[in-house]
Amino acid sequence: MTDQTTTLANVRQMMREFVAERQWEKYHTPKNLAASVAVESGELLELFQWLTSEEATKRAVHDPAFRKAVGEELCDVLMYLVSLANALDLDIATAIEHKMARNRMKYPPEQYQGHYERPLPE
Ligand SMILES: [Mg+2]
């Protein structure tokens, strides 16, 4: 299984089966899943918590045990996001398409070339 050969639909089905095999649907409410995304994001961030930016990059690139831990937390976040999409019957690719169209409007490349500045709230 690689990113090159696995679709979002495959991952969604894998999560659906994992949840159904355990009859965990009752726990997979939108509120619980959104909270779980935040919890797992915290676990991901915790790995980097006291490292300098340079140390974090170095470990993430060169330290196999650290890379494995990052990959596991990254998967936890992603799998809860996918489960949230399943619980809401929300099409992720469509949502990405719409969000990217908004981001392209919000950050025109000629205005944000090589720098970022948060736009003021509308
Ligand atoms: Mg975790």
Instruction: Flag whether pLDDT at 50 surpasses 80.
Output: yes
Share of the chain above pLDDT 90, in %: 89
Q: What is the whole-number distance in angstroms between the Cα of residue 118 and the centre of ligand 1? A: 30
Residues in the chain: 122
Is a pLDDT exceeding 80 seen at residue 122? Answer: no
Position 121 in a domain: no
Q: How far is residue 81's CA from residue 39's CA, in Å, rounded to a whole number?
A: 12
**How far away, in angstroms, is 84 Cα from ligand 1 center?**
16
Predicted confidence at residue 100, as pLDDT, reads 98
Cα separation, 30 vs 109, whole angstroms: 35
| Residue 33 CB-density burial (10 A; 0-12 exposed, 13-18 middle, 19+ buried) | buried
Q: Is the pLDDT of residue 88 over 90?
A: yes
What b/e readout covers 81-90, taking b as 16+ CB neighbours within 10 angstroms? bbbbbbbeee
Of all residues in the chain, the percent with pLDDT exceeding 70 is: 100
Kindly give the distance from the C-alpha atom of residue 32 to the centroid of ligand 1, in angstroms, as a whole number.
Answer: 15
- Could you tell me the distance, in angstroms and rounded to a whole number, from the CA of residue 54 to the centre of ligand 1? 24
- Residue 96: its pLDDT value, please? 98
pTM for the whole structure = 0.90
Q: Is the pLDDT of residue 73 over 90?
A: yes
Domain span at residue 81 reads 8-112
118 falls within a domain: no
Distance 43 CA to ligand 1 centre (A): 6
How far apart CA 39 and CA 84 sit, in angstroms, is 14
- Long-range CB pairs of 117-120 (<8 Å, 24+ gap) are none
51 CA to centre of ligand 1 in angstroms: 19
25 part of a folded domain: yes
How far apart are the CA of 6 and the centre of ligand 1, in A? 22
pLDDT at 79 over 80: yes
Mean local confidence (pLDDT), 79-87: 98
Q: Please report, for the domain that includes residue 80, its CATH number.
A: 1.10.287.1080
What's the pLDDT score for residue 118?
81
Per residue in 29-38, pLDDT (tens digit) is 999 999 999 9
pLDDT number for residue 59: 97
Distance (angstroms) between ligand 1 centre and the Cα of 68 equals 12
User: Ligand 1 centre and the CA of 76: distance in Å?
Assistant: 5
The count of structural domains within the chain is 1
